[in-house]
């Protein structure tokens, strides 16, 4: 079944939940709750990548994430680290994280590929063209599926050349990153075309392109909170399309969606249904 990755932002400025879990105790409690709700992994991030966000010093990022990852690991909660920085990735894995989730796919820090190769952990490489302060201006595609596919192929080649096992790489299309609204949908509708059969993580949770899709009178599409049902719809469709994982704020809703898809697919098999 599709893996559910619960989002835990230990930041003051993330677009949906910034500030809610900036304190260590609150972050730990939230991570435990996500696991209780069924998340297979809790993805801990200490630097916001929302549109327009400024960079955080690496030392501050490490200070935010390592105590939380260490405590969750001790509590038996599986974690990943959401970071663009090699030093943070190393510190987080040493504290217990099992996966490095890098929204830059290794482009933001030249040392990342070597560190991941040394750590021998799974690595999520997202499609990325620019930092948050510049990314909206890079939504320039003639064929978004073909271009994202080529750019991710280049990242895989570079990572493998640096010693990262290809079987350890998961690809993320970077929904909302250098893709403002309409350019996100072809990537969701054509997962196999750009992923070339590799494992795929879909991170659509509460993003603004969902708001644009559900906008109508009486719906404040600019409010991330109203995008949860749309997120769950994308989770179900991603699971049906064979995504390796989904990255979400509401783990319980995502787990329910994945299980419904699994039950539906099992019933469609010849041995799965009997009169």
Three-state helix/strand/coil letters over 230-265: HHHHHHHHHHHCCCCEEEECCHHHHHHHHHHHHHHH
Distance CA(173)–CA(80), nearest Å, equals 18
Distance CA(65)–CA(160), nearest Å, equals 27
Contact by Cβ (8 Å): 21, 56: no
Of the listed 198, 199, 208, 247, which one is catalytic? 247
Neighbours of 1 (CB within 10 A): 11
The answer to whether residue 179 is catalytic is: no
Distance CA(69)–CA(61), nearest Å, equals 12
Helix, strand, or coil here: 130?
coil
Of the listed 207, 216, 227, 259, which one is catalytic? 207
- Cβ neighbours for 165, distance < 8 A, ≥ 6 positions apart: 120
The answer to whether residue 216 is catalytic is: no
The tally of CA atoms less than 13 A away on the side-chain side of residue 76 is: 1
> What phi and psi, each to the nearest 5 degrees, are found at residue 141?
-130, 140
Q: What is the DSSP string of 150-168?
A: HHHHHHHHHHHHTT--GGG
The catalytic residue positions are: 207, 247
């Amino acid at each position: 079944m599709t893996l559910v990755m619960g989002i835990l932002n230990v930041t003051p400025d993330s677009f949906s939940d910034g500030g809610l879990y900036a304190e260590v105790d609150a972050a730990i409690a939230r991570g435990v709750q996500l696991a209780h709700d069924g998340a297979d992994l809790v993805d801990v991030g200490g630097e916001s990548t929302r549109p327009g966000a400024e960079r955080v010093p690496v030392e501050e990022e490490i200070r935010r994430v390592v105590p939380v990852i260490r405590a969750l690991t001790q509590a038996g909660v599986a974690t990943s680290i959401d970071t663009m920085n090699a030093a943070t990735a190393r510190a987080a894995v040493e504290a217990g994280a099992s996966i490095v989730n890098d929204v830059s796919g290794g482009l933001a820090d030249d040392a990342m590929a070597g560190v991941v190769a040394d750590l021998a952990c799974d690595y999520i490489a997202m499609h990325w063209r620019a930092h948050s302060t510049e990314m909206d201006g890079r939504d320039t595609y003639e064929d978004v599926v073909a271009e994202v596919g080529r750019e991710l192929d280049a990242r895989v080649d570079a990572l493998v050349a640096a010693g990262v096992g290809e079987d350890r790489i998961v690809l993320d299309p970077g929904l909302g990153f250098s893709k403002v609204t309409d350019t996100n949908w072809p990537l969701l509708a054509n997962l196999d075309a750009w992923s070339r059969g590799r494992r795929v993580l879909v991170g659509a949770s509460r993003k603004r392109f969902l708001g644009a899709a559900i906008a109508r009178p009486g719906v404040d599409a600019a409010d991330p909170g109203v995008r949860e049902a749309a997120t769950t719809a994308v989770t179900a469709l991603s699971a049906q399309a064979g995504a390796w994982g989904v990255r979400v704020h509401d783990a319980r809703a995502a787990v329910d969606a994945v299980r419904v898809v699994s039950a539906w697919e099992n019933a469609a098999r010849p041995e799965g249904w009997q009169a």
